[in-house]
A and B are shown apart, each in its own frame.
Chain A
Amino acid sequence: MSRNATTREAAPAGRPRAARLLLQQLRYEQLAFWRNPFGAGFTIGFSVVFLVLLAATGGSSRSSTLGGIRLVQYYVPGFAAYGVMSACFNTLGIQLVVRRETGLLKRLRLSPLPTWALLGGVLLNSFVVAVLQVVVLLGIGRLGYHVVLPHAWGPLLVAIVAGVVCFTALGVAISAVIPNQEAAGPIISIIYFVLLFLSGLWYPLQPGSALARVSGWFPVRRLIVAVFAPFDLRPGSSPWSWNDIGVLAAWGVVAAVFALRRFRFEPRRS
């Protein structure tokens, strides 16, 4: 996966520049993403549907664990986090397995496209999809449910970037351990939904509870908390959640190292 940088030959005239390659990759990643009903529907559609359903059933009730704020004020950032994770971990992880098993990755590996451009395009695509989802969810929250938007956007942006990087690395890493296309959906979905459930996406966890302590080890919980922080209306709460961002970064680094060692371009079936 790492680019072999032993000999740097002079680049031939006309070799495409890095920025152009990345933009081109992003463009076609986007085209492929939006044309795939699974990608667009499951990634974007699910978070919106979940948010609307939850808000309809209990959104106006107030949360005792969160100082009496309305639950929907928690659900909107919660599902924004969900959207980021879906795009980067779930959708990407499955997509990479499919591409590997159908030989697409092998083909790209043999083309002059550098690996960094391939993965850079994938990362940028995840980022665009994630940001788009956050915007859509905030829009629905603001217009539909009068959710109070953050005063400071910096902490939200940092949390989302940390989430994208961490979960993209995790998505690449998980794809490396999944043997085939048929297994990709079930394995990834089970891991993902169990962690979501433990992490209090559907109900705020009592800080310090056993569940919160256990799920605190995992990045899913950390991202939900970090994205919620700028939306936290309780007096004295900080919009920055460095602890959680630190844990996300640590997971991201571990996943990236694992991915670099284990990622394969070649189909497993032979």
Chain B
Amino acid sequence: MVEDLHKSYGALEAVRGVSFTVERGEVFALLGPNGAGKTTTVEILEGFRSRDRGRVSVLGHDPASRSRAMRERVGIVLQELAVEPMLTVREVLTRTAGYYPDPRPVDEVVELVGLAEKARARVKTLSGGQQRRLDLGMGIIGRPELVFLDEPTTGFDPSARRGAWDLVRTLTEGGTTVILTTHYMDEAEALADEVAVVAAGRIVGSGPPDALGGRDEGAVTIRFRLPDVPGTPELPAALARMCTTRSVATDPVEITTDDEVRVLHDLTTWSIDSGVPLAGLALERSTLEDVYLRLTGSEHGASQPGRQS
């Protein structure tokens, strides 16, 4: 869908050769720090910005042509709020529905975004979160095949976030493709089928969130506590050698290994045989956040002037 995309603002190269493909029905997340070029990329796909170089195809259209047929099939939720303050929730949605050939029923959308009790309230009386939900509603009312969500939950409280996530899942169950930008790792992890980490205008890593940057391979950490009771049998020497922290008092024991299956087997066998409990036994892979920080780390110090994400 996107190949070798470039965009500069004067001397600032905001997007420097981004390429990716999004399959139908997939949730694709562009993850990256502010100023990475996420929004610029998405705005080129939306047809709002022109590109300097590269090929882009959105549902078979070149977004630069700004064809109405493409805009009828695409739903867009921008980062900034943009709703007519004097109209009511219902009026705004009814008007927006009127732009599309086959819109969703207004009441259905009001329900979906959880604004049923605010349907007759003027937009300016809504809270920030409610306005963003209305914005979300405007983005999906046209029954879009593809939805762009630019930082859809920034500034949401936790329950509103869950609500928005549920909404995205509802959309994808209906076969909608979703492209979202976010700087929340958990959001990408919860929603996305594919993640591309963007830093300084380039994609520095991509893949399914649980495999990004080799998360599904490589070292894992096994963690547990040994009882702080005198006379507790020592760990077998083979295991003890692998420990990165030693349980003298209350510190958890950590074993970092590439071969977690064998280590766990040895450990649990020893525990059962010796009767020593392994309190809080847990196995941790590197978090998406670790991967993200590692991938974007090199560019992190150099602040990107000008444009926001």
- Chain A positions within 8 Å of B, measured between CB atoms, are 4, 6-7, 9, 11-16, 20-21, 24, 28, 31-32, 35-36, 102-104, 106-107, 109-114, 266-267, 270
Contact = CB atoms under 8 A, between A and B. Distances in A.
B67 A31 contact: no
B216 to A, nearest CB: 37
Contacts of A266: 48
Contacts of A104: 82-84
Q: Chain B binding site: helix, strand, loop or mixed by DSSP?
A: loop
Given A4-B66, A28-B84, A35-B86, A14 B101 contact: yes
7 contacts: A6-B65, A24-B95, A24-B98, A102-B82, A106-B48, A110-B47, A112-B142
Nearest to B9: A270
A32 B87 contact: yes
Contact of B99 (A106, A112, A270): A112
B308 interface: yes
A12 B54 CA distance: 29
B72 interface: yes
B96 interface: yes
Contacts, number: 87
Interface secondary structure of A, over-half rule? loop
B223 to A, nearest CB: 46
A258 to B, nearest CB: 22
A40 B131 CA distance: 25
B243 interface: no
A13 B98 CA distance: 14
A109 to B, nearest CB: 7
Given A12-B69, A35-B86, A103 B78 contact: yes
Nearest to A28: B95
**Interface bin, chain B:** 20 to 34
Contacts of A4: 65-67
Interface of B: 46-48, 65-69, 71-72, 76, 78, 80-84, 86-87, 91, 95-96, 98-102, 122, 138, 142, 306-308
A257 B86 CA distance: 31
Contact of A31 (B72, B91, B101, B307): B91
Contacts of A267: 80
List of 4 A-B pairs having minimum Cβ-Cβ separation, nearest first: A103-B82, A14-B101, A107-B82, A35-B86
Contact of A21 (B48, B98, B102): B98
A270 B307 contact: yes
A224 to B, nearest CB: 31
B91 A106 contact: no
Given A12-B72, A110-B47, 18 more contacts: A4-B66, A7-B65, A11-B69, A14-B101, A20-B98, A28-B84, A31-B87, A32-B84, A35-B87, A103-B80, A104-B82, A106-B48, A106-B82, A107-B138, A111-B96, A112-B72, A113-B99, A114-B68
A119 to B, nearest CB: 15
A267 B307 CA distance: 13
A40 to B, nearest CB: 11
Contacts of B76: 107, 110-111
Nearest to A31: B87
Contacts of A28: 84, 87, 91, 95
